[in-house]
Amino acid sequence: MRARRSLRPAYALTLAAAAGGVLCACGGGGGGSGASPTPTRTTAPLPPATSPPTSSQPSSAPTASTPPGTPGAAGGGSGRCRTDGLKVRISTAGPAAGQRFAFLTLTNTSGSACRVRGYVGMLLLTASDHPIPTNLERLSPPGPQTIVLRPRGSAYARLQWTIVPGAREPAHGACAPTPGLAWITPPDERAHLVVAWNQGVVCGGGHVSTTPLRPGPAPR
């Protein structure tokens, strides 16, 4: 599901400043966090993807593929998957004690195959577009792999966070503002997709861990 909004220039600059370093998602790299360029919001080709962590990955990694007839990765393809040719969906996965999980799925909505590799970028916001501190951690191993998406093919990543308040968070009541939206930036892109966040509060200073993208639709 993708929603798009337009921001007044002055307000967009305020959001960009508050979000600095959490929205860019570079395609390569291992675990850890890093700073990223200021995100840019657009209405067609939405903004970046260098999740808080920023790094580069060798281009010699293996290419993943899915069986014929599966709407996911496939052999061949042209250039990198662009933001305006993708849609994003976040679905709930099974919870654990104090932990929450979700699957983030990118689907190729363009008319041709494209390649995607690495980690998405993410920034959480309130329903009224106010940024919430977001600390995205890249998990590895396994490391990133190149995925070729056919039209309507998908790739997914698993997200994990805690609902247990951290040492500097209120022990009673909400540990942080509850997100209503998420800005998701595909690997190596500068435009982001906007998706509703229906997964509840994120404690621990906005810490969310993510796996690299994997081929195929998210597990059910």
Does the pLDDT of residue 46 top 70, yes or no? no
Residue 119 vs residues 10, 75, 91, 142: alpha-carbon distances, Å: 30, 20, 17, 12
Q: Mean of the per-residue pLDDT values for the chain?
A: 77
Q: Tell me what the mean pLDDT of segment 89-105 comes to.
A: 95
Type of residue at 54: T
Q: Tell me what the mean pLDDT of segment 42-63 comes to.
A: 39
Does the pLDDT of residue 140 top 80, yes or no? yes
Q: What is the pLDDT of residues 180-220, one digit of tens each?
A: 999 999 999 999 999 999 999 999 999 999 999 999 999 98
pLDDT of residue 22: 52
Rounded to whole angstroms, the Cα distance separating 58 from 173 reads: 45
Rounded to whole angstroms, the Cα distance separating 176 from 119 reads: 25
- CB atoms < 10 A from the CB of 55, how many? 18
Does the pLDDT of residue 63 top 60, yes or no? no
Q: Percentage of the chain surpassing pLDDT 70? A: 65
Does the pLDDT of residue 2 top 50, yes or no? no
Ramachandran sector of residue 109 (left: φ over 0; alpha: ψ -120 to 50; beta: rest): alpha
Q: 183 with 48: CB under 8 angstroms?
A: no
Query: For the purposes of burial, counting CB atoms within 10 Å of the CB of 42, is it exposed (0-12), middle (13-18) or buried (19 or more)?
Result: middle
- CB atoms < 10 A from the CB of 11, how many? 10
Among the listed residues 61, 74, 64, 90, the one whose alpha carbon sits nearest the alpha carbon of residue 158: 90
Ramachandran sector of residue 85 (left: φ over 0; alpha: ψ -120 to 50; beta: rest): alpha
φ and ψ of 17, to 5 deg: -65, -40
Residue 95 structure tokens: 């919870």
Q: How confident is the model at residue 147 (pLDDT cuts 50, 70, 90)?
A: very high
Q: 177 with 169: CB under 8 angstroms?
A: no
Q: Is the dihedral of CA 138, 172, 182, 129 positive or negative?
A: negative
Of 57 and 103, the structure prediction assigns the larger pLDDT to 103
Does the pLDDT of residue 101 top 60, yes or no? yes
Among the residues of the chain, which ranges form H helices? 9-19
pLDDT of residue 28: 56
Spatial strand order of the sheet with 146-149 comes to 63-64, 146-149, 114-117
Q: Does pTM top 0.95 for this prediction? A: no
Comparing 63-67, 88-92, 128-132, 182-186, the range with the smallest average pLDDT is 63-67
Residue 28 structure tokens: 């390569």
Residue 199 vs residues 9, 50, 63, 154: alpha-carbon distances, Å: 29, 22, 32, 21
Comparing 2-6, 95-99, 102-106, 154-158, the range with the smallest average pLDDT is 2-6
